[in-house]
Chain A
C-alpha cells in the first residue's frame, strides 16, 4: 500500500493525521456547509451580516416549506423524475442490445461501429444543438418531456454502449459459444445467459445515468420553452430570479435540487464508483 500505512508511523504522526482529517474535510466542503447554514437561518440574518454565526432562529422547516409554497419546486422535481427515469431505462436497455451485438459477434463492422458510439459520446453538445432543436420543432417534440427524454436516451446510448460492450467482452465467451452449439436461439442466449451476468453493469450504469441526466441543464434550456416542464436544475435557475436577495430560500432550493443524486450515490455507492472508474485500474 502506498503511502505507507499510518499505523506504522509514530504516535505523533498518527494523532496528527486523525486531527487533520476532519479539518481537511471541513475546508473541502466549506462552500457546501456555508450554503446549508444559509438555508436554515432567517433571511434577516444575512442582511445583518450574520452569515457564519449561530442562526438567530432555526427555521429549517419554515425555509424549505416556503420554497415549496412560494415556487413551483414540486413541479420541477417531479419533471426531473419524469425525465430521468425513462431516459435511464431506455439508454441502459438499448445498450444491453448494442453491447451484446458488439461483443458477442465477430463481424467486420463491430469495431468501427463501436468507435462511432465512443466518438459520438465525446462531442460537444453545441455541435448538436441547432439540428436537434430543429428536428424537435418539426416533429412536435419541442417543449415536451418526451422530446427531451428521446434525445437524452439517444446521446447516453453512446456512453452506455462503451461501458456495456467492455463489460460483456470480459464475460466467459465459451458459455455463449457452447449454448450456440446446443442450438439455443440468440434471443434466448441474450435473455437467459447474458442479461443475468451483466446485472452489476446495469446497476452501475443506471446510477450514473440517473446522476448525469438529473444534473443536466443545457438540454433542458434548449429543448424546453415554458416554465411548466423545466427540470429542477433549470427550475432552480429561474427561482434564483424569483427569490432575489432571499438567499436563504435560494440556498434551500439549491440543496433540494442536489439531494436526489446525493441520496442515490450514498445508497448505491459501490455501483456508482465501479461505473465511474471502469478502466481506471486495468493494466
Chain B
C-alpha cells in the first residue's frame, strides 16, 4: 500500500527528472564554464555573468523582454472586451466564438509568416492602407524603433483569443442572482462590470495573467520567423538571444548561452513561485 503510489509515479518521475528537472541544474552548472559544445569545458567561474553586465545586446534583449511583459498584458483586458462583446445568444454566435478563437490554434510560425506578409510595405495590408491615405508606408520589421512593437502586435493576436476564451467560460459561470441583485440596486454598465462581474471573474483573470506572462517570456517563434532578432539585434529577447549565442552561425557558446538562460529562468522563478504559493493556499483550504 505504501509502495503503490510510487509504482504509479515511477515512469512519470523518471522521465520528468531526466528531461526537465536535471537539465535546469545542469544549465546553471554549465553557465560557469566556457564550452563550445564539443571539446573540453573550462571552468571560468562568474566570468560569463561579468560579460553579461557589459553586453549591450543582453541589455537590449532584457529591455525588450520588459516591453513584451508590459504590452502583452493588454491581451487580458482586450480578451475580456471581446468576450463581453460575444457573450450573447443570437443565432450563429457559437460559430462566431469559434472563429474569434481561431488565431490561437494556429502555430506561431504561421502567425509570424502571416504578419510578415501583413506588414510588408509594398504589398502587405499595412502598405496598402498607408498608401491609400497617401502616406509612405513604414517598413515596420526593418525599423529599429518599431520592430518590437510590430512583433508584439502579432503575438497579441493569438493571446487575446486565448484570454477571450477564458473569460467566455468565466462569464458563463457568473451568478445570475448577483447580477439581478445588482440591477435592483441600480448598478449598470461600467459599475456593474467593475463591482459585480470582474470580482466574480477572478479565477479567469488569474489564469489569463499566468498564461500571458509565460507567453511573453517564452516569445521565441515569432522573433525567429519575423526578424531573427534584427535589425541589428533591436528586436532580440532573452529567449532568442540565448539560442543565437549557443546554437547558431554566431557561434557555439554554450556556457554564455546558459548564463543568459539562467537569467531568464530566474525571472520566471518569480512568477512560478507566486503561482505555486497561490496553489498552496488553495490546497490548504
Cα–Cα distance between A236 and B105 once the two chains are bound (Å): 17
Q: Determine whether B6 belongs to the interface, using a CB cutoff of 8 Å to chain A.
A: yes
Whether the pair B165, A276 counts as a contact (CB closer than 8 A) is: yes
Minimum Cβ distance to chain A for residue B165 (Å)? 6
Tell me the total A-B contact number using a CB cutoff of 8 A: 293
The stretch of B52-60, B96-104, B139-147 in contact with A is B96-104
Can you name 14 extra interface pairs (CB under 8 A) apart from A98-B8, A130-B246, A280-B203?
A: A1-B89, A21-B90, A31-B157, A32-B103, A35-B113, A102-B5, A105-B4, A105-B5, A118-B275, A132-B23, A217-B221, A254-B110, A254-B113, A258-B107
B22's partner among A46, A113, A131 (CB-CB below 8 A) is: A131
CB atoms of B107 and A214 under 8 A apart: yes
Q: Which of A217-262 contact B (CB under 8 A)?
A: 217-218, 221-222, 233-234, 236-237, 240, 247, 250-251, 254-255, 257-258, 261-262
- Residues of B contacting A: mostly: helix
- B39 within 8 A of partner (CB): no
Of A7, A18, A24, the residue contacting B89 (CB under 8 A) is A7
Give every chain B residue within 8 A of A247 (Cβ-Cβ): 117, 123
A–B Cβ pairs within 8 angstroms, 29 of them: A1-B89, A1-B176, A3-B84, A3-B88, A6-B89, A24-B85, A32-B103, A34-B114, A101-B6, A115-B276, A116-B16, A118-B275, A118-B279, A123-B265, A126-B257, A127-B261, A131-B27, A132-B23, A154-B16, A155-B19, A190-B8, A217-B221, A234-B109, A247-B117, A251-B117, A255-B110, A266-B98, A280-B167, A281-B172
Q: What are the residues of chain B within 8 A of A104 when measuring CB–CB?
A: 5
Question: Bound state CA distance, A214 and B110, in angstroms?
Answer: 12
- Return A7 CB to nearest CB of chain B, in Å: 7
Task: Specify which chain A residues have a CB less than 8 angstroms from the CB of B15 in the assembled complex.
Answer: 94, 150, 153-154, 157
CA distance A178 to B207 in the complex (A): 36
Does B260 lie within 8 Å of A126, measured CB to CB? yes
A54 within 8 A of B: no
Q: Which residues of B contact A161 (CB under 8 A)?
A: 12
Please measure, in the bound complex, the distance between the C-alpha atom of A262 and the C-alpha atom of B260, giving whole angstroms.
35
Chain B residues with CB below 8 A from A233, complex form? 107, 109-110
Which residues of chain A in 75-119 are interfacial with respect to chain B, using CB atoms and an 8 Å cutoff? 94-95, 97-98, 100-102, 104-105, 107, 110-111, 113, 115-119
Whether the pair B264, A277 counts as a contact (CB closer than 8 A) is no
User: Given the complex of chains A and B, what is the CA–CA distance between A119 and B167 in angstroms?
Assistant: 24
CB distance from B210 to the nearest CB of A (A): 8
Indicate if B173 sits at the interface (CB-CB under 8 A). yes
User: Is B16's CB under 8 angstroms from A277's CB?
Assistant: no
B68 at the interface (CB under 8 A from A): no
A35 touches B117 (CB 8 A): yes
> Does A154 lie within 8 Å of B271, measured CB to CB?
no
| Bound CA–CA A276/B210 (angstroms) | 13
Main secondary structure of the interface of A (DSSP, over half): helix
Name the one of B30, B110, B246 contacting A236, with C-beta atoms under 8 angstroms: B110
- The reply to whether B21 and A116 contact each other, CB–CB distance below 8 Å, is yes
Q: Nearest chain B CB to A152's CB is how many angstroms away? A: 9
Give min CB distance, B81 to chain A, whole Å: 11
Closest 5 CB pairs of A and B: A154-B19, A215-B107, A101-B8, A131-B23, A98-B12
Cα A119 to Cα B239 in complex, Å, equals: 18
Instruction: State whether the Cβ of A124 lies closer than 8 Å to any Cβ in chain B.
Output: yes
List the A side residues contacting B170 at CB < 8 Å. Answer: 277, 280-281
B181 contacts partner chain A, Cβ-Cβ < 8 Å: no
- In the assembly, what is the distance between CA of A17 and CA of B283, in Å? 43
Write out the residue numbers on chain B whose beta carbons fall within 8 Å of the beta carbon of A240.
113
Interface hits, B137-156 → A, CB 8 Å: none
> For the complex, is A30 an interface residue (Cβ under 8 Å from B)?
yes
Contact A135 B271 (CB under 8 A): no
Residue A181 CB within 8 A of the other chain: no
- Which residues of B lie under 8 Å from residue A154 when comparing CB positions? 15-16, 18-20
Closest residue to A96 on the B side, CB-wise?
A: B8
Q: Check B114 against A107 for contact (C-beta < 8 Å).
A: no
Q: Are B98 and A269 in contact, CB atoms less than 8 angstroms apart? A: yes
Cβ of B73: which chain A residues have Cβ within 8 Å of it? none
Nearest opposing residue in chain A for B175, CB measure: A283
User: CA separation between A277 and B172, bound complex, in Å?
Assistant: 12
Does chain B have a CB within 8 A of A63?
no
Chain A residues lying within 8 Å of B276, measured Cβ to Cβ, are 115, 118-119
Contact between chains at B12 and A157 (CB < 8 Å): yes
A29 to B22, CA, bound (A): 42
Q: A7-B89, A24-B85, A158-B16 are in contact. Are A129 and B8 (CB under 8 A)?
A: no
User: Which residue from chain B places its CB closest to the CB of A47 in the assembled complex?
Assistant: B123
A residues in contact with B75, CB < 8 Å: none
Verify if A170 is at the interface (C-beta below 8 Å from B).
no
| Docked-complex contact A2 and B221, CB < 8 angstroms | no
* Nearest CB of chain A from residue B230's CB, rounded to whole Å: 16
* Cβ-defined contact, B117 with A122, below 8 A: no
